[in-house]
């Protein structure tokens, strides 16, 4: 739901039910590849749609891990296997310095139109903008 509220996202599809394998793809989005360049909104005529693969990683409160690292995510193989126009990682904690550097290197290669990552702070910022989402999922999201 948070991705659907982003002005550059056109559609979001879940790849598989939670209990089935998704081969590194939790969500597949269509997005406006020109959004950064032209600040184009969804209903504009200057739109070039691309495919964005989103991987979501969760560390539950009872987990000893406070962050998500390179060994937790297979960015390179996911990009190689599916050749998306964009890649996004969403985590409910933080990502390690090594994983941040790897994502920055992938972004610098310019093989994808967009390489993004959201951590817990990014998610909280968006939940502040859309309290209706938080209200609907109060049994899943604890937010102070």
pLDDT at 34: 86
pLDDT at 36: 76
pLDDT at 141: 64
Query: What residues of the chain score a pLDDT lower than 70?
Result: 17-23, 37-38, 41-44, 60-64, 140-144
pLDDT at 66: 82
Strand (E) or helix (H) holding 9: strand 9-14
pLDDT at 140: 67
pLDDT at 46: 78
In angstroms, what is the C-alpha Rg of the chain?
15
Alpha-carbon span 83 to 90, nearest angstrom? 19
pLDDT at 37: 66
Alpha-carbon span 6 to 4, nearest angstrom? 6
pLDDT at 82: 93
Dmax (CA) for the chain in angstroms is 48
State phi, psi for 13 to the nearest 5 degrees.
-125, 135
């Amino acid at each position: 739901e948070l991705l659907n509220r982003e002005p550059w996202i056109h559609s979001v599809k879940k790849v598989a039910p939670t209990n089935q394998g998704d081969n590194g793809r939790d969500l597949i989005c269509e997005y406006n590849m020109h959004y950064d360049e032209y600040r184009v909104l969804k209903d504009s005529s200057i739109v070039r749609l691309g495919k964005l693969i989103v991987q979501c990683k969760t560390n539950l409160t009872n987990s000893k891990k406070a962050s998500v690292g390179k060994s937790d995510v297979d960015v390179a193989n996911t990009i190689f296997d599916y050749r998306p126009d964009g890649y996004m990682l969403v985590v409910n904690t933080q990502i390690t310095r090594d994983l941040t550097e790897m994502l920055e290197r992938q972004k610098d290669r310019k093989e994808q139109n967009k390489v993004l990552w959201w951590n817990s702070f990014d998610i909280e910022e968006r939940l502040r903008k859309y309290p209706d989402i938080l209200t609907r999922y109060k049994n899943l999201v604890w937010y102070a």
